[in-house]
Structure 1
Protein backbone atom coordinates (compact mmCIF):
# COMPACT_ATOMS: atom_id res chain seq x y z
CA UNK A 1 0.00 0.00 0.00
CA UNK A 2 1.32 3.45 -0.95
CA UNK A 3 1.58 5.96 1.89
CA UNK A 4 3.20 9.21 2.89
CA UNK A 5 3.20 11.06 6.20
CA UNK A 6 2.18 14.72 6.21
CA UNK A 7 4.08 16.83 8.72
CA UNK A 8 1.65 19.37 10.12
CA UNK A 9 4.10 21.01 12.53
CA UNK A 10 6.81 21.37 9.85
CA UNK A 11 4.36 22.77 7.31
CA UNK A 12 2.93 25.18 9.89
CA UNK A 13 6.43 26.40 10.83
CA UNK A 14 7.37 26.86 7.17
CA UNK A 15 4.10 28.64 6.45
CA UNK A 16 4.51 31.04 9.40
CA UNK A 17 8.14 31.75 8.51
CA UNK A 18 7.16 32.34 4.90
CA UNK A 19 4.33 34.60 5.98
CA UNK A 20 6.68 36.74 8.13
CA UNK A 21 9.19 37.09 5.28
CA UNK A 22 6.49 37.82 2.74
CA UNK A 23 5.14 40.63 4.92
CA UNK A 24 8.31 42.57 4.17
CA UNK A 25 7.93 42.24 0.41
CA UNK A 26 5.99 44.55 -1.83
CA UNK A 27 3.50 41.84 -2.86
CA UNK A 28 2.46 38.51 -1.26
CA UNK A 29 3.70 35.28 -2.75
CA UNK A 30 2.55 31.69 -2.47
CA UNK A 31 3.07 30.57 1.18
CA UNK A 32 6.20 28.56 1.81
CA UNK A 33 5.28 24.95 2.43
CA UNK A 34 2.46 24.96 -0.12
CA UNK A 35 4.76 23.19 -2.58
CA UNK A 36 5.19 20.29 -0.15
CA UNK A 37 1.41 19.87 0.20
CA UNK A 38 1.03 20.05 -3.59
CA UNK A 39 3.71 17.35 -3.93
CA UNK A 40 1.82 15.06 -1.52
CA UNK A 41 -1.42 15.59 -3.44
CA UNK A 42 0.31 14.94 -6.79
CA UNK A 43 1.73 11.69 -5.43
CA UNK A 44 -1.74 10.54 -4.42
CA UNK A 45 -3.28 11.58 -7.75
CA UNK A 46 -0.48 9.78 -9.65
CA UNK A 47 -1.20 6.50 -7.84
CA UNK A 48 -3.73 4.89 -10.20
CA UNK A 49 -4.79 2.28 -7.65
CA UNK A 50 -5.59 4.80 -4.90
CA UNK A 51 -6.75 7.84 -6.89
CA UNK A 52 -9.91 6.12 -8.20
CA UNK A 53 -10.99 5.03 -4.70
CA UNK A 54 -11.58 8.48 -3.19
CA UNK A 55 -12.33 10.92 -6.04
CA UNK A 56 -14.50 13.29 -4.00
CA UNK A 57 -12.03 13.50 -1.13
CA UNK A 58 -9.17 14.14 -3.60
CA UNK A 59 -11.26 16.82 -5.30
CA UNK A 60 -11.89 18.43 -1.90
CA UNK A 61 -8.15 18.25 -1.15
CA UNK A 62 -7.35 19.80 -4.55
CA UNK A 63 -9.60 22.76 -3.76
CA UNK A 64 -8.00 23.22 -0.35
CA UNK A 65 -4.47 23.05 -1.85
CA UNK A 66 -5.37 25.66 -4.44
CA UNK A 67 -6.63 27.96 -1.70
CA UNK A 68 -3.44 27.36 0.31
CA UNK A 69 -1.27 28.21 -2.72
CA UNK A 70 -2.90 31.63 -3.15
CA UNK A 71 -0.74 34.56 -1.99
CA UNK A 72 -1.99 35.89 1.34
CA UNK A 73 -0.64 38.80 3.38
CA UNK A 74 -2.42 37.57 6.52
CA UNK A 75 0.15 35.11 7.91
CA UNK A 76 -2.30 33.46 10.33
CA UNK A 77 -4.85 32.86 7.59
CA UNK A 78 -2.16 31.57 5.24
CA UNK A 79 -0.94 29.13 7.91
CA UNK A 80 -4.51 28.04 8.62
CA UNK A 81 -5.16 27.36 4.93
CA UNK A 82 -1.92 25.42 4.62
CA UNK A 83 -2.70 23.16 7.60
CA UNK A 84 -6.27 22.65 6.35
CA UNK A 85 -4.98 21.62 2.91
CA UNK A 86 -2.48 19.19 4.44
CA UNK A 87 -5.22 17.60 6.56
CA UNK A 88 -7.52 17.19 3.57
CA UNK A 89 -4.74 15.51 1.57
CA UNK A 90 -4.11 13.15 4.50
CA UNK A 91 -7.86 12.46 4.78
CA UNK A 92 -8.08 11.62 1.06
CA UNK A 93 -5.12 9.25 1.35
CA UNK A 94 -6.58 7.52 4.41
CA UNK A 95 -9.97 7.13 2.72
CA UNK A 96 -8.40 5.64 -0.43
CA UNK A 97 -6.23 3.23 1.57
CA UNK A 98 -9.22 2.15 3.67
CA UNK A 99 -11.26 1.37 0.58
CA UNK A 100 -8.34 -0.51 -0.93
CA UNK A 101 -8.18 -2.70 2.20
CA UNK A 102 -11.95 -3.26 2.02
CA UNK A 103 -11.64 -4.47 -1.58
CA UNK A 104 -8.82 -6.82 -0.61
CA UNK A 105 -10.88 -8.16 2.29
CA UNK A 106 -13.85 -8.78 -0.03
CA UNK A 107 -11.64 -10.69 -2.46
CA UNK A 108 -10.25 -12.90 0.31
CA UNK A 109 -13.76 -13.61 1.59
CA UNK A 110 -14.88 -14.72 -1.89
CA UNK A 111 -11.86 -17.03 -2.21
CA UNK A 112 -12.64 -18.56 1.19
CA UNK A 113 -16.27 -19.23 0.18
CA UNK A 114 -15.15 -20.87 -3.06
CA UNK A 115 -12.76 -23.15 -1.20
CA UNK A 116 -15.50 -24.18 1.24
CA UNK A 117 -17.94 -24.91 -1.60
CA UNK A 118 -15.37 -27.02 -3.42
CA UNK A 119 -14.64 -29.01 -0.25
CA UNK A 120 -18.32 -29.72 0.33
CA UNK A 121 -18.75 -30.83 -3.29
CA UNK A 122 -15.87 -33.25 -2.92
CA UNK A 123 -17.35 -34.62 0.31
CA UNK A 124 -20.75 -35.16 -1.32
CA UNK A 125 -19.17 -36.91 -4.33
CA UNK A 126 -17.14 -39.11 -2.00
CA UNK A 127 -20.27 -40.07 -0.04
CA UNK A 128 -22.11 -41.09 -3.23
CA UNK A 129 -19.12 -43.13 -4.37
CA UNK A 130 -18.96 -44.96 -1.04
CA UNK A 131 -22.68 -45.78 -1.16
CA UNK A 132 -22.35 -47.20 -4.68
CA UNK A 133 -19.41 -49.34 -3.65
CA UNK A 134 -21.37 -50.68 -0.67
CA UNK A 135 -24.29 -51.74 -2.89
CA UNK A 136 -21.95 -53.50 -5.34
CA UNK A 137 -20.23 -55.36 -2.53
CA UNK A 138 -23.57 -56.51 -1.06
CA UNK A 139 -24.72 -58.04 -4.40
CA UNK A 140 -21.35 -59.65 -5.14
CA UNK A 141 -21.13 -62.37 -2.50
CA UNK A 142 -22.91 -63.55 0.67
CA UNK A 143 -19.57 -63.77 2.46
CA UNK A 144 -19.14 -60.05 2.06
CA UNK A 145 -22.70 -59.23 3.10
CA UNK A 146 -21.77 -58.11 6.61
CA UNK A 147 -19.05 -55.87 5.35
CA UNK A 148 -21.44 -54.46 2.75
CA UNK A 149 -24.03 -53.70 5.44
CA UNK A 150 -21.44 -51.89 7.49
CA UNK A 151 -20.39 -49.84 4.52
CA UNK A 152 -24.04 -49.13 3.72
CA UNK A 153 -24.56 -47.99 7.30
CA UNK A 154 -21.60 -45.68 6.98
CA UNK A 155 -22.98 -44.33 3.75
CA UNK A 156 -26.36 -43.82 5.43
CA UNK A 157 -24.68 -41.90 8.23
CA UNK A 158 -23.01 -39.66 5.69
CA UNK A 159 -26.31 -39.20 3.90
CA UNK A 160 -27.98 -38.24 7.19
CA UNK A 161 -25.21 -35.76 7.77
CA UNK A 162 -25.76 -34.35 4.30
CA UNK A 163 -29.51 -34.07 5.02
CA UNK A 164 -28.73 -32.33 8.29
CA UNK A 165 -26.44 -29.92 6.47
CA UNK A 166 -29.14 -29.31 3.86
CA UNK A 167 -31.67 -28.53 6.60
CA UNK A 168 -29.15 -26.21 8.21
CA UNK A 169 -28.63 -24.52 4.86
CA UNK A 170 -32.38 -23.99 4.53
CA UNK A 171 -32.46 -22.52 8.03
CA UNK A 172 -29.57 -20.23 7.11
CA UNK A 173 -31.42 -19.13 3.97
CA UNK A 174 -34.58 -18.40 5.97
CA UNK A 175 -32.57 -16.44 8.53
CA UNK A 176 -30.90 -14.50 5.71
CA UNK A 177 -34.29 -13.63 4.23
CA UNK A 178 -35.56 -12.48 7.62
CA UNK A 179 -32.45 -10.37 8.11
CA UNK A 180 -32.88 -8.92 4.63
CA UNK A 181 -36.50 -8.03 5.40
CA UNK A 182 -35.47 -6.42 8.68
CA UNK A 183 -32.68 -4.55 6.92
CA UNK A 184 -35.12 -3.31 4.28
CA UNK A 185 -37.48 -2.05 6.99
CA UNK A 186 -34.59 -0.35 8.78
CA UNK A 187 -33.44 1.22 5.52
CA UNK A 188 -36.95 2.54 4.82
CA UNK A 189 -37.12 4.08 8.30
CA UNK A 190 -33.66 5.59 7.85
CA UNK A 191 -34.66 7.10 4.49
CA UNK A 192 -37.74 8.66 6.12
CA UNK A 193 -35.61 10.15 8.90
CA UNK A 194 -33.10 11.50 6.38
CA UNK A 195 -35.92 13.08 4.36
CA UNK A 196 -37.31 14.72 7.51
CA UNK A 197 -33.90 16.25 8.23
CA UNK A 198 -33.51 17.44 4.61
CA UNK A 199 -30.13 15.69 4.67
CA UNK A 200 -28.25 14.88 1.51
CA UNK A 201 -26.01 11.80 1.21
CA UNK A 202 -22.40 12.59 0.27
CA UNK A 203 -19.10 10.78 0.21
CA UNK A 204 -18.35 12.29 3.65
CA UNK A 205 -21.70 11.18 5.12
CA UNK A 206 -25.16 12.72 5.56
CA UNK A 207 -24.92 16.52 5.32
CA UNK A 208 -27.56 18.62 7.11
CA UNK A 209 -27.28 22.30 6.15
CA UNK A 210 -28.53 24.84 8.70
CA UNK A 211 -28.96 28.34 7.25
CA UNK A 212 -28.03 31.62 8.91
CA UNK A 213 -31.62 32.01 10.21
CA UNK A 214 -30.39 30.11 13.28
CA UNK A 215 -28.48 33.18 14.44
CA UNK A 216 -28.83 36.94 14.59
CA UNK A 217 -26.49 38.89 12.32
CA UNK A 218 -22.85 38.61 13.46
CA UNK A 219 -23.99 36.68 16.57
CA UNK A 220 -23.41 33.08 17.70
CA UNK A 221 -26.39 32.67 20.06
CA UNK A 222 -29.06 30.31 18.72
CA UNK A 223 -32.52 31.77 18.19
CA UNK A 224 -35.29 30.04 20.15
CA UNK A 225 -37.32 29.57 16.94
CA UNK A 226 -34.51 27.51 15.40
CA UNK A 227 -34.68 24.69 17.94
CA UNK A 228 -37.26 22.54 16.10
CA UNK A 229 -34.91 21.38 13.35
CA UNK A 230 -32.05 20.91 15.80
CA UNK A 231 -34.31 18.81 18.06
CA UNK A 232 -35.03 16.51 15.09
CA UNK A 233 -31.29 16.29 14.45
CA UNK A 234 -30.71 15.37 18.10
CA UNK A 235 -33.44 12.71 17.94
CA UNK A 236 -31.80 11.19 14.86
CA UNK A 237 -28.38 11.03 16.56
CA UNK A 238 -29.95 9.50 19.69
CA UNK A 239 -31.56 6.79 17.54
CA UNK A 240 -28.20 6.06 15.89
CA UNK A 241 -25.60 6.10 18.68
CA UNK A 242 -23.04 4.47 16.39
CA UNK A 243 -22.80 7.64 14.28
CA UNK A 244 -20.62 10.66 14.96
CA UNK A 245 -21.04 14.17 13.59
CA UNK A 246 -18.72 16.94 12.40
CA UNK A 247 -20.23 20.43 12.84
CA UNK A 248 -18.73 22.98 10.44
CA UNK A 249 -19.42 26.73 10.60
CA UNK A 250 -19.14 28.82 7.40
CA UNK A 251 -19.45 32.55 6.68
CA UNK A 252 -19.59 34.97 3.77
CA UNK A 253 -16.74 37.37 3.01
CA UNK A 254 -18.13 40.31 4.98
CA UNK A 255 -15.54 41.29 7.57
CA UNK A 256 -11.96 40.08 8.01
CA UNK A 257 -10.96 36.48 7.45
CA UNK A 258 -9.82 36.11 11.07
CA UNK A 259 -13.09 37.42 12.51
CA UNK A 260 -15.08 35.13 10.22
CA UNK A 261 -13.08 32.10 11.39
CA UNK A 262 -13.86 32.99 15.02
CA UNK A 263 -17.55 33.61 14.27
CA UNK A 264 -17.93 30.35 12.36
CA UNK A 265 -16.21 28.45 15.21
CA UNK A 266 -18.51 30.01 17.82
CA UNK A 267 -21.60 29.13 15.79
CA UNK A 268 -20.43 25.54 15.34
CA UNK A 269 -19.78 25.33 19.10
CA UNK A 270 -23.30 26.69 19.77
CA UNK A 271 -24.88 23.93 17.67
CA UNK A 272 -22.69 21.35 19.43
CA UNK A 273 -23.74 22.64 22.86
CA UNK A 274 -27.41 22.40 21.86
CA UNK A 275 -26.99 18.77 20.74
CA UNK A 276 -25.10 17.88 23.93
CA UNK A 277 -28.05 19.29 25.86
CA UNK A 278 -30.26 16.90 23.89
CA UNK A 279 -28.34 13.94 25.31
CA UNK A 280 -25.70 13.47 22.61
CA UNK A 281 -22.29 12.58 24.03
CA UNK A 282 -19.78 15.37 23.42
CA UNK A 283 -17.23 12.75 22.32
CA UNK A 284 -19.43 12.03 19.28
CA UNK A 285 -19.41 15.67 18.15
CA UNK A 286 -16.64 17.81 16.70
CA UNK A 287 -17.03 21.54 15.99
CA UNK A 288 -14.90 23.32 13.40
CA UNK A 289 -14.94 26.91 12.09
CA UNK A 290 -14.19 27.14 8.37
CA UNK A 291 -14.62 30.89 8.02
CA UNK A 292 -15.04 32.17 4.46
CA UNK A 293 -12.80 29.61 2.71
CA UNK A 294 -15.51 27.19 1.51
CA UNK A 295 -18.35 29.20 -0.10
CA UNK A 296 -21.29 27.46 -1.75
CA UNK A 297 -22.12 30.44 -3.96
CA UNK A 298 -20.66 33.75 -5.09
CA UNK A 299 -20.23 36.38 -2.40
CA UNK A 300 -20.94 39.10 -4.96
CA UNK A 301 -24.71 38.93 -4.36
CA UNK A 302 -26.86 39.06 -1.24
CA UNK A 303 -28.41 35.72 -2.14
CA UNK A 304 -25.01 34.11 -2.54
CA UNK A 305 -23.77 35.50 0.76
CA UNK A 306 -26.91 34.19 2.49
CA UNK A 307 -26.15 30.67 1.17
CA UNK A 308 -22.55 30.92 2.40
CA UNK A 309 -23.63 31.88 5.96
CA UNK A 310 -24.44 28.40 7.21
CA UNK A 311 -23.65 25.58 9.61
CA UNK A 312 -23.23 22.11 8.11
CA UNK A 313 -23.58 18.96 10.22
CA UNK A 314 -21.86 16.00 8.56
CA UNK A 315 -23.19 12.75 10.08
CA UNK A 316 -20.61 10.04 9.51
CA UNK A 317 -21.54 6.90 7.59
CA UNK A 318 -21.68 3.58 9.47
CA UNK A 319 -18.51 1.52 8.74
CA UNK A 320 -19.34 -1.62 6.78
Structure 2
Protein backbone atom coordinates (compact mmCIF):
# COMPACT_ATOMS: atom_id res chain seq x y z
CA UNK A 1 0.00 0.00 0.00
CA UNK A 2 1.11 3.56 -0.71
CA UNK A 3 0.39 6.48 1.63
CA UNK A 4 -0.11 9.79 -0.20
CA UNK A 5 0.37 12.88 1.96
CA UNK A 6 -0.71 16.45 1.24
CA UNK A 7 -3.60 18.64 0.19
CA UNK A 8 -7.11 17.92 -0.98
CA UNK A 9 -8.99 20.92 -2.35
CA UNK A 10 -11.57 22.05 -4.87
CA UNK A 11 -10.39 23.15 -8.32
CA UNK A 12 -12.80 25.81 -9.57
CA UNK A 13 -12.95 26.30 -13.34
CA UNK A 14 -14.51 29.32 -15.04
CA UNK A 15 -17.05 27.94 -17.51
CA UNK A 16 -18.55 31.03 -19.12
CA UNK A 17 -19.66 34.57 -18.48
CA UNK A 18 -23.24 35.39 -17.57
CA UNK A 19 -25.09 38.70 -17.44
CA UNK A 20 -24.29 38.99 -13.74
CA UNK A 21 -21.01 37.10 -13.36
CA UNK A 22 -19.52 33.69 -14.17
CA UNK A 23 -20.57 30.06 -14.23
CA UNK A 24 -18.07 28.10 -12.13
CA UNK A 25 -17.41 24.35 -12.17
CA UNK A 26 -15.88 23.08 -8.91
CA UNK A 27 -14.09 19.73 -9.04
CA UNK A 28 -12.25 17.70 -6.42
CA UNK A 29 -8.50 18.06 -6.74
CA UNK A 30 -5.13 18.95 -5.30
CA UNK A 31 -1.89 17.38 -6.50
CA UNK A 32 -1.54 14.71 -3.77
CA UNK A 33 -5.30 14.02 -3.91
CA UNK A 34 -4.93 13.42 -7.65
CA UNK A 35 -1.96 11.11 -7.15
CA UNK A 36 -3.97 9.05 -4.65
CA UNK A 37 -6.90 8.75 -7.04
CA UNK A 38 -4.56 7.96 -9.91
CA UNK A 39 -2.93 5.15 -7.95
CA UNK A 40 -6.32 3.71 -7.00
CA UNK A 41 -7.50 3.80 -10.61
CA UNK A 42 -4.35 1.94 -11.61
CA UNK A 43 -5.16 -0.85 -9.17
CA UNK A 44 -2.79 0.14 -6.36
CA UNK A 45 -3.86 -0.07 -2.70
CA UNK A 46 -3.58 3.50 -1.46
CA UNK A 47 -4.41 5.65 1.57
CA UNK A 48 -4.58 9.43 1.90
CA UNK A 49 -3.16 11.49 4.77
CA UNK A 50 -4.34 15.10 4.73
CA UNK A 51 -6.66 17.46 6.55
CA UNK A 52 -10.27 17.44 5.31
CA UNK A 53 -12.79 20.05 6.40
CA UNK A 54 -16.02 19.46 8.31
CA UNK A 55 -18.06 21.39 5.75
CA UNK A 56 -19.89 20.26 2.64
CA UNK A 57 -16.77 20.62 0.50
CA UNK A 58 -14.83 18.36 2.85
CA UNK A 59 -17.71 15.89 2.71
CA UNK A 60 -17.48 15.92 -1.08
CA UNK A 61 -13.74 15.26 -0.98
CA UNK A 62 -14.22 12.33 1.40
CA UNK A 63 -17.00 10.94 -0.77
CA UNK A 64 -14.79 11.15 -3.85
CA UNK A 65 -11.89 9.36 -2.16
CA UNK A 66 -14.13 6.58 -0.86
CA UNK A 67 -15.73 6.15 -4.30
CA UNK A 68 -12.24 5.70 -5.79
CA UNK A 69 -11.33 3.13 -3.09
CA UNK A 70 -8.78 5.35 -1.40
CA UNK A 71 -8.54 4.65 2.33
CA UNK A 72 -9.26 7.83 4.35
CA UNK A 73 -8.87 6.59 7.93
CA UNK A 74 -5.60 8.53 8.28
CA UNK A 75 -7.16 11.88 7.28
CA UNK A 76 -8.26 14.03 10.23
CA UNK A 77 -11.50 16.00 10.04
CA UNK A 78 -10.53 19.62 10.69
CA UNK A 79 -12.79 22.49 11.77
CA UNK A 80 -11.60 24.82 8.98
CA UNK A 81 -12.57 25.63 5.39
CA UNK A 82 -11.51 23.76 2.27
CA UNK A 83 -8.90 25.37 0.03
CA UNK A 84 -10.17 26.65 -3.31
CA UNK A 85 -7.90 26.65 -6.36
CA UNK A 86 -9.20 28.85 -9.17
CA UNK A 87 -8.05 27.40 -12.49
CA UNK A 88 -7.66 29.44 -15.65
CA UNK A 89 -6.81 27.70 -18.93
CA UNK A 90 -4.43 29.31 -21.42
CA UNK A 91 -4.72 28.94 -25.19
CA UNK A 92 -2.33 25.96 -25.26
CA UNK A 93 -4.35 24.08 -22.63
CA UNK A 94 -1.89 24.73 -19.80
CA UNK A 95 -3.31 25.85 -16.48
CA UNK A 96 -2.76 28.86 -14.26
CA UNK A 97 -3.88 28.80 -10.63
CA UNK A 98 -4.94 31.16 -7.86
CA UNK A 99 -5.30 29.63 -4.40
CA UNK A 100 -7.51 30.70 -1.50
CA UNK A 101 -6.33 28.64 1.43
CA UNK A 102 -5.02 30.60 4.41
CA UNK A 103 -6.18 28.83 7.57
CA UNK A 104 -7.74 25.98 5.61
CA UNK A 105 -7.93 22.34 6.64
CA UNK A 106 -5.13 20.98 4.46
CA UNK A 107 -2.58 23.30 6.11
CA UNK A 108 -3.48 22.53 9.73
CA UNK A 109 -2.08 19.00 10.10
CA UNK A 110 0.17 18.81 13.19
CA UNK A 111 2.70 16.35 14.59
CA UNK A 112 -0.02 14.75 16.73
CA UNK A 113 -1.89 13.80 13.54
CA UNK A 114 0.95 11.69 12.11
CA UNK A 115 -0.34 8.13 11.64
CA UNK A 116 1.29 4.90 12.72
CA UNK A 117 1.94 2.71 9.70
CA UNK A 118 1.82 -1.07 9.63
CA UNK A 119 3.60 -3.53 7.36
CA UNK A 120 1.08 -3.05 4.53
CA UNK A 121 2.79 0.20 3.55
CA UNK A 122 5.72 0.00 1.15
CA UNK A 123 5.96 3.63 0.01
CA UNK A 124 4.93 7.21 0.77
CA UNK A 125 4.42 10.14 -1.58
CA UNK A 126 4.59 13.86 -0.72
CA UNK A 127 4.09 16.90 -2.87
CA UNK A 128 3.10 20.47 -3.56
CA UNK A 129 2.42 23.32 -1.19
CA UNK A 130 1.78 21.37 2.01
CA UNK A 131 5.53 20.69 2.04
CA UNK A 132 6.24 24.43 2.49
CA UNK A 133 3.37 25.84 4.63
CA UNK A 134 3.06 25.39 8.38
CA UNK A 135 2.25 23.55 10.53
CA UNK A 136 1.72 20.73 8.01
CA UNK A 137 5.21 21.00 6.47
CA UNK A 138 6.93 20.32 9.80
CA UNK A 139 4.59 17.40 10.49
CA UNK A 140 5.40 15.90 7.09
CA UNK A 141 9.13 16.21 7.73
CA UNK A 142 8.75 14.31 10.99
CA UNK A 143 6.93 11.55 9.11
CA UNK A 144 9.64 11.42 6.42
CA UNK A 145 12.42 11.25 8.99
CA UNK A 146 10.63 8.43 10.81
CA UNK A 147 9.95 6.35 7.69
CA UNK A 148 12.83 7.00 5.27
CA UNK A 149 14.88 4.02 6.42
CA UNK A 150 11.90 1.66 6.29
CA UNK A 151 9.95 2.58 3.15
CA UNK A 152 10.44 4.18 -0.26
CA UNK A 153 9.60 7.88 -0.28
CA UNK A 154 8.71 9.92 -3.39
CA UNK A 155 8.32 13.68 -3.79
CA UNK A 156 7.02 16.12 -6.41
CA UNK A 157 7.67 19.83 -5.60
CA UNK A 158 4.74 20.99 -7.79
CA UNK A 159 5.76 24.60 -7.28
CA UNK A 160 2.95 27.00 -6.35
CA UNK A 161 4.40 30.48 -5.85
CA UNK A 162 0.92 31.94 -5.49
CA UNK A 163 0.60 29.91 -2.29
CA UNK A 164 4.13 30.47 -0.96
CA UNK A 165 5.80 33.32 -2.90
CA UNK A 166 9.16 32.94 -1.14
CA UNK A 167 11.19 30.98 -3.70
CA UNK A 168 13.89 30.35 -1.12
CA UNK A 169 11.40 28.40 0.97
CA UNK A 170 10.75 26.12 -2.00
CA UNK A 171 14.39 25.60 -2.95
CA UNK A 172 15.45 24.91 0.64
CA UNK A 173 12.62 22.39 0.90
CA UNK A 174 13.77 20.72 -2.33
CA UNK A 175 17.30 20.43 -0.93
CA UNK A 176 16.02 18.96 2.33
CA UNK A 177 13.86 16.51 0.42
CA UNK A 178 16.72 15.49 -1.86
CA UNK A 179 18.68 14.48 1.24
CA UNK A 180 15.77 12.51 2.74
CA UNK A 181 13.61 11.02 -0.04
CA UNK A 182 14.44 8.42 -2.68
CA UNK A 183 12.54 9.57 -5.80
CA UNK A 184 11.99 13.13 -6.98
CA UNK A 185 9.70 13.77 -9.94
CA UNK A 186 9.72 17.41 -11.06
CA UNK A 187 8.57 19.34 -14.10
CA UNK A 188 11.11 21.26 -16.16
CA UNK A 189 8.88 24.32 -15.67
CA UNK A 190 9.31 24.07 -11.90
CA UNK A 191 13.05 23.54 -12.24
CA UNK A 192 13.49 26.58 -14.49
CA UNK A 193 11.44 28.71 -12.09
CA UNK A 194 13.37 27.46 -9.05
CA UNK A 195 16.89 27.53 -10.54
CA UNK A 196 16.90 30.10 -13.36
CA UNK A 197 19.61 29.41 -15.91
CA UNK A 198 20.78 26.17 -14.30
CA UNK A 199 20.94 23.15 -16.64
CA UNK A 200 18.45 20.44 -15.70
CA UNK A 201 21.14 17.79 -15.50
CA UNK A 202 23.16 19.84 -13.02
CA UNK A 203 20.20 20.23 -10.68
CA UNK A 204 19.42 16.52 -10.97
CA UNK A 205 23.03 15.56 -10.26
CA UNK A 206 23.12 17.85 -7.23
CA UNK A 207 20.05 16.11 -5.80
CA UNK A 208 21.58 12.71 -6.48
CA UNK A 209 24.66 13.92 -4.66
CA UNK A 210 22.54 14.72 -1.62
CA UNK A 211 21.22 11.16 -1.49
CA UNK A 212 18.19 10.92 -3.77
CA UNK A 213 18.30 7.70 -5.84
CA UNK A 214 16.17 8.66 -8.85
CA UNK A 215 15.33 12.06 -10.34
CA UNK A 216 12.75 12.26 -13.13
CA UNK A 217 12.19 15.51 -15.03
CA UNK A 218 8.99 15.81 -17.05
CA UNK A 219 9.08 18.22 -19.98
CA UNK A 220 5.50 18.36 -21.23
CA UNK A 221 5.29 17.63 -24.93
CA UNK A 222 9.08 17.20 -25.08
CA UNK A 223 9.06 13.99 -23.04
CA UNK A 224 10.77 12.98 -19.80
CA UNK A 225 14.29 12.20 -18.64
CA UNK A 226 15.47 10.07 -15.72
CA UNK A 227 18.74 10.41 -13.82
CA UNK A 228 20.37 7.91 -11.47
CA UNK A 229 23.94 7.62 -10.26
CA UNK A 230 24.76 5.46 -13.29
CA UNK A 231 22.10 6.16 -15.95
CA UNK A 232 20.55 9.00 -17.93
CA UNK A 233 17.51 7.93 -19.96
CA UNK A 234 15.27 10.12 -22.13
CA UNK A 235 11.92 9.33 -23.80
CA UNK A 236 9.56 11.29 -26.04
CA UNK A 237 5.96 12.07 -25.19
CA UNK A 238 3.11 10.53 -27.19
CA UNK A 239 1.49 13.03 -29.56
CA UNK A 240 -2.10 13.75 -28.53
CA UNK A 241 -4.75 16.44 -28.97
CA UNK A 242 -4.45 18.39 -25.73
CA UNK A 243 -7.65 19.54 -24.00
CA UNK A 244 -5.77 20.74 -20.93
CA UNK A 245 -2.77 19.66 -18.85
CA UNK A 246 -4.48 19.70 -15.43
CA UNK A 247 -3.42 16.61 -13.50
CA UNK A 248 -0.93 15.37 -16.10
CA UNK A 249 2.04 15.55 -13.73
CA UNK A 250 0.05 13.82 -10.99
CA UNK A 251 -0.91 11.07 -13.42
CA UNK A 252 2.75 10.66 -14.38
CA UNK A 253 3.72 10.22 -10.73
CA UNK A 254 0.92 7.74 -10.04
CA UNK A 255 1.83 5.75 -13.14
CA UNK A 256 5.55 5.75 -12.28
CA UNK A 257 4.83 4.36 -8.80
CA UNK A 258 2.40 1.86 -10.31
CA UNK A 259 5.02 0.61 -12.78
CA UNK A 260 7.49 0.10 -9.95
CA UNK A 261 4.91 -1.62 -7.76
CA UNK A 262 3.75 -4.01 -10.48
CA UNK A 263 7.32 -5.20 -10.98
CA UNK A 264 8.19 -5.58 -7.32
CA UNK A 265 10.64 -2.69 -7.47
CA UNK A 266 8.90 -0.30 -5.08
CA UNK A 267 11.83 -0.29 -2.67
CA UNK A 268 14.98 1.76 -2.17
CA UNK A 269 17.33 -1.07 -3.14
CA UNK A 270 15.35 -1.89 -6.29
CA UNK A 271 15.16 1.74 -7.44
CA UNK A 272 18.92 2.11 -6.94
CA UNK A 273 19.55 -0.84 -9.26
CA UNK A 274 17.23 0.11 -12.13
CA UNK A 275 18.97 -0.24 -15.49
CA UNK A 276 18.55 1.87 -18.61
CA UNK A 277 15.96 -0.42 -20.21
CA UNK A 278 13.85 -0.55 -17.06
CA UNK A 279 13.99 3.22 -16.71
CA UNK A 280 12.97 3.66 -20.36
CA UNK A 281 9.97 1.39 -19.93
CA UNK A 282 8.95 3.15 -16.72
CA UNK A 283 9.13 6.57 -18.36
CA UNK A 284 7.20 5.41 -21.42
CA UNK A 285 4.49 3.91 -19.22
CA UNK A 286 4.16 7.08 -17.11
CA UNK A 287 4.30 9.40 -20.13
CA UNK A 288 1.58 7.40 -21.88
CA UNK A 289 -0.70 7.65 -18.85
CA UNK A 290 -0.08 11.40 -18.51
CA UNK A 291 -0.86 11.95 -22.19
CA UNK A 292 -4.28 10.35 -21.69
CA UNK A 293 -5.08 12.85 -18.95
CA UNK A 294 -4.16 15.69 -21.33
CA UNK A 295 -6.94 14.59 -23.71
CA UNK A 296 -9.59 15.14 -21.01
CA UNK A 297 -11.02 18.07 -19.13
CA UNK A 298 -9.48 18.47 -15.69
CA UNK A 299 -7.59 15.93 -13.61
CA UNK A 300 -9.33 12.85 -15.01
CA UNK A 301 -6.69 10.14 -14.50
CA UNK A 302 -6.90 6.98 -16.62
CA UNK A 303 -7.75 3.54 -15.30
CA UNK A 304 -5.31 0.69 -15.57
CA UNK A 305 -7.32 -1.16 -18.21
CA UNK A 306 -6.98 1.82 -20.58
CA UNK A 307 -3.34 1.17 -21.41
CA UNK A 308 -0.96 -1.73 -21.92
CA UNK A 309 1.54 -3.48 -19.72
CA UNK A 310 4.35 -1.01 -20.35
The normalised TM-score by structure 2 is: 0.22
Task: Determine which structure has more spread, i.e. the larger CA radius of gyration.
Answer: 1
Larger RCO of the pair (alpha carbons < 8 Å, separation 6+): 2
More helix by share: 1
